[in-house]
Structure 1
Amino acid sequence: MNKLKFIDLFAGIGGIRLGFQDKNTECVFSSEWDKFSQKTYEANFGEIPHGDITQIEAKDIPQHDILLAGFPCQPFSKIGKREGFKNATQGTLFFDVVRILDYHKPSAFLLENVTGILSDDGGKTIQVIMGALDELGYDASYEILNSAAFGLAQNRRRVIFVGFLKELNVDFQYPVGSEKKVPISDILEFGVEGYGISEHLQQAYLFKKDDGKPQVVDRNSTVQANTLVASYHKIQRITGTFVKDGSTGLRLLSKNECLKLQGFPLDFIIPVSRTQMYRQLGNSVSIPVVKAVADEMKKILREKMKECENQQLALQI
């Protein structure tokens, strides 16, 4: 059976690709405009992604079976001013997903975004997205999945969109994960140097109020970490998770801990600064979540491909 070909849009450092690819798939195109993310992508996949997708013609993208994209969330403020949902996406980066799907008509797609997209612009954004995907000829659905249900020690809720061409007649069921949660203590390192938070910053900012913030964890913690965000290096007291360890008694999460929180392999190469490392991993996806969804998608597509092959053989006979 031929390999499933996919493209990787708004690729970041390749998190969705990492969760999707296996020996039976082939990435035929990738796109990412950020130069630091390109550097990390190249270090791990041996290719430099193409740049700004808005400047790339759909006809210049290779034919593919599946489109993958962690597209940025933007409000679609022009809804109601243009005819049709596809037209209503113009001026947003989601429009580039639409035009590529429209031109190539791949069998399926997998998209990822933050949960805020569901309420953005009073619910109009998600209305436009689902309407456009329907107009393009796809049975599309979405589900909020939490990384904590897929073996990771992090609470991270993200929206996953999956779609198949209507002619394939697919009723996609999302994986549900497990109720068993991995505690943050399972992935912590101790005696780590270089990630310390100064005592002055702790006293003047982090613990200036006695309100249970920020989240501080140690080897006995049974909770999951807060969502790792791109601005984690800014040491935010409301959203951050910090470790009771190091020379000052409190430190940031280490590189290995961040990799584990997102399900990346520890040999994943991060050839950029620590600030960029936090930004890139905070902007990326949780690998086990993508893999669980991708495995279901690939199973369906291979079954459909096998059905087509059998039909072709029957016609030849």
Structure 2
Amino acid sequence: MMTSEPDSLPRNGWTTTSADMPAAVGGTPLIRLSRASDATGCDIFGKAEFMNPGGSVKDRAALAIIEDAEKRGVLKPGGTIVEGTAGNTGIGITLVANARGYKSVIVMPETQSQEKIDFLRMIGADLRLVPAKPYRDQGNYVHVSRRLSEENGWLWANQFDNVANREGHRLTTGPEIWEQMGGKVDAFTCACGTGGTLAGIGFGLNDAAEAAGVARPKIVLADPEGSGLYGWVKSGDLSVSGSSITEGIGQSRVTANLEGAIIDDAERIADPEALEQIYSLLIHEGLSVGGSSGINVAAAIRVARTLGPGHRIATILCDGGARYQSKLFNPEFLRSKDLPVPAWLDR
């Protein structure tokens, strides 16, 4: 059950002053997506997580993990936090660490966008780039970060298997969505990397529905090609096929954050379908978002069409498009992947 009723939530960020950067994490707007809503006869809302101080939904996981470590006494003043990340969690950890007086060491695959690499260096992270390798390889960025923790006595954030990640979303993001939608939520869609966002929000929405004595929303995992989670939900098969240009989502294993999660269904979204939503949101609604947001919105549209007109669906707008300018908004890169180039870029 929730520790507080939805109407007693701390209203961070947009309706109050904040004591510092970590206190401003959360409290993000929930925006009705007009074209997706009009196309389906439903109300589809995107939680604007790109409006967190560090620019992504991962600010919440970073803060939850650090605060949990502080409470357990395993992160001491002046300590160092190390994490393996596709970028956004590293940004969140570095900024929260800066605000709290910690040092951060970030291990990231060298294939991630140059914008995230440059930003991490700019904000003071000790960035270690490694070759992109599958999780089964000990050179994988997650394993490298774990070894650095063991060798140096640093705190390993371990976002994939540290359930403080999903607990942070259970206590904040889920109840926020419930309150902002007045308790009228029929479905929620979200992609997974760690699984913390989907699982935590699913638990939070379930808690709120139980407290209100109403049916809980349908929880739908949105998955890119090249990930095994769609098959895991549908048939227990984690086999991977295909690929995607999206970053930070998709998985070939069941993380601790996903264990026991409430998941009713899954949608697999190909890159062209995701890009269509990314470009539509930008040009028609003034919302600049990244690849995972396109996956999430495309899945929300599919779910809305399955449920039928009159339903209300929420999803996550994970981060902003500026972090992917060299890929999602680069005609040369898009053509190299045989992906559509939007008209305004094709000049």
Q: Tell me if TM exceeds 0.5.
A: no
TM-score (norm 1): 0.31
Larger Rg: 1
